[in-house]
């Protein structure tokens, strides 16, 4: 087990800046999930930690040792890839044992480690099979077993579930989290899937255009997004945004659509007339007798809940998620739940906390986050 520190990591490919000033620290046994859209730099960051890429500037420190220039084979890191990377001609046992054999480990110790990992991953009855005889989920467990037997200081996961079907992803997601907690190995997990990000990590790092947009616990990111990008990225369906201006000395917001929304958690700086963006998640809009008019475009019944897509009378897109069924009407009214209203500066997109509100630790990890 170990700590991991990234200090001032930057990476340029020619004139293109892929990563810009990434600073973070993982505690012993922590799992950090790195999430972001394609091209955000998350896989590049993982490859730098693994030693498969060199940073343009910055340092990688594992358990107090600077490994920035250390060969990947000497870093005591195990990586699990999305494509499994199994040897097709080898049995499950031999795939899991291969890395130990080339290190010259005694046969008895190799067998002990492989059998112990196989038992943890429910692979004991499959040790004699070849990869082609396994399902996708079984192959992924073999790839994980190959990493586990090395007993590394750090696990790196590079979108390991992206090749699995939806049901198997849910199962494997739970298995990875249980296994990581049981082993207590410090881990970095890269994904573009926000459900994986929310459910797997002790903390979540959201990358945007090579910068850290926010670094916090998953629920802090969800409940206190640092800016409109984070707010739109995390949450499904995405957050609704409404242009507005502050009113009543910053204690309310008047939407351009004509609805006044009280800011019950406190006054915002800027006073009457300051342009803001009001964010409301789909599950925090309620049906009402009046309020924001909504013309329904599409209804998605999902069994226990329904997602309604439509347009406000002033043209904004609105998505509403409600328990059970939605009213069978083409025109409805919705109102935001005041306790779940988010306020963002219209110019910068940054979150506006209420004046006098105590800062959450999460928010401020997000500030490691250099603003563009």
- Quick: pLDDT tens for 277-294: 999 999 999 999 999 999
Say how far apart CA 296 and CA 200 lie, in whole Å. Answer: 35
Is residue 363 very low, low, confident or very high in pLDDT (cuts 50, 70, 90)? very low
Is residue 169 very low, low, confident or very high in pLDDT (cuts 50, 70, 90)? confident
Is residue 358 very low, low, confident or very high in pLDDT (cuts 50, 70, 90)? very low
Per-residue pLDDT tens for 13-70?
A: 998 999 999 999 999 999 999 999 988 999 999 999 999 999 999 999 999 999 999 9
Say how far apart CA 94 and CA 78 lie, in whole Å. Answer: 17
Share of the chain above pLDDT 90, in %: 70
Q: Quickly name the fold that domain 4-228 has.
A: Rossmann fold (3.40.50)
The kind and range of the H/E element at 186 are strand 186-191
Is residue 257 very low, low, confident or very high in pLDDT (cuts 50, 70, 90)? confident
Per-residue pLDDT tens for 72-103?
A: 989 999 998 878 789 999 999 999 999 899 98
What is the pLDDT at residue 357? 58
Taking residues 260-285, report their average pLDDT.
93
Q: Other C-beta atoms within 10 Å of 39: how many?
A: 13
User: 35 forms bridges with which residues in the sheet?
Assistant: 191, 206
Say how far apart CA 180 and CA 177 lie, in whole Å. Answer: 5
Summary mean pLDDT of the chain: 90
CATH homologous superfamily for the domain 238-350: Nucleic acid-binding proteins (2.40.50.140)
For the cut 70, the answer to whether the pLDDT of residue 372 exceeds it is: no
Tokens of 324: 């059970």
Taking residues 118-136, report their average pLDDT.
93
For residues 168, 170, 174, 176, the Cα torsion angle rounded to the nearest 10 degrees is 60
Residue 212 or 121, more confident? 212
What is the pLDDT at residue 364? 40
Residue 136 or 206, more confident? 206
What is the pLDDT at residue 360? 40
Is residue 224 very low, low, confident or very high in pLDDT (cuts 50, 70, 90)? very high
For the cut 90, the answer to whether the pLDDT of residue 136 exceeds it is: no
Residue 28 or 372, more confident? 28
Per-residue pLDDT tens for 310-354?
A: 999 888 899 999 998 888 889 999 999 999 999 999 999 999 998
Q: Residue 354 — φ and ψ, nearest 5°?
A: -70, 150
Q: Are 291 and 312 in contact (CB under 8 A)?
A: no
91 Cβ neighbours under 8 A, 6+ residues apart: 127, 128, 129, 130
E-only strand ranges, 128-192: 154-158, 186-191
What is the pLDDT at residue 314? 85
User: 11 forms bridges with which residues in the sheet?
Assistant: 19
- Domain ranges, ordered by start, for the chain: 4-228, 238-350
Kindly list the distances between the CA atom of residue 99 and the CA atoms of 183, 191, 267, in Å, as whole numbers in the listed order: 19, 26, 59
């Amino acid at each position: 087990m170990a700590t991991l520190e990234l200090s001032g990591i930057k990476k340029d490919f020619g004139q293109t800046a892929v990563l810009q000033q990434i600073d973070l620290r993982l505690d012993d046994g922590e799992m950090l999930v790195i999430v972001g859209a394609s091209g955000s730099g998350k896989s590049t960051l993982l490859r730098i930690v693994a030693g498969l890429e060199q940073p343009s500037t910055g340092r990688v420190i594992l358990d107090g040792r600077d490994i920035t220039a250390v060969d990947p084979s000497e870093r005591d890191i195990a990586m699990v890839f999305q494509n499994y990377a199994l040897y097709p001609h080898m049995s499950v046992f031999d795939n899991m044992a291969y890395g130990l054999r080339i290190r010259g480990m005694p046969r008895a110790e190799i067998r002990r480690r492989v059998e112990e990992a196989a038992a943890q991953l429910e692979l004991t009855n499959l040790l004699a099979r070849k990869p082609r005889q396994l399902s996708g989920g079984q192959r992924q467990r073999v790839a994980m077993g190959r990493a586990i037997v090395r007993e590394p200081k750090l696990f790196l996961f590079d979108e390991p579930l992206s090749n699995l079907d939806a049901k198997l992803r849910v199962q494997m997601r739970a298995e990875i989290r249980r296994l990581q907690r049981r082993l207590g190995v410090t881990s970095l997990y890269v994904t573009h899937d926000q459900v994986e990000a929310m459910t797997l990590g002790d903390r979540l790092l959201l990358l945007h255009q090579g910068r850290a947009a926010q670094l916090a616990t998953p629920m802090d990111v969800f409940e206190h997004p640092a800016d409109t990008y984070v707010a739109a990225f995390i949450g499904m369906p995405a957050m609704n945004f409404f242009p507005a201006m502050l009113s009543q000395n910053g204690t309310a917001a008047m939407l351009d659509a004509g609805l006044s929304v009280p800011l019950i958690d406190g006054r915002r700086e800027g006073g009457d007339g300051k342009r803001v963006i009001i964010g409301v998640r789909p599950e925090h809009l309620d049906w009402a007798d009046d309020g924001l008019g909504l013309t329904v475009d599409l209804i998605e019944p999902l069994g226990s809940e329904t997602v309604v897509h439509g347009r406000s009378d002033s043209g904004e897109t609105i998505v509403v998620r409600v328990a059970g069924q939605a009213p069978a009407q083409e025109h409805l009214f919705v109102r935001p739940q005041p306790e779940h209203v988010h306020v963002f500066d219209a110019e910068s997109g940054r979150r506006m906390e209420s004046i006098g509100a105590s800062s959450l630790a999460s928010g401020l990890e997000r500030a490691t986050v250099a603003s563009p």
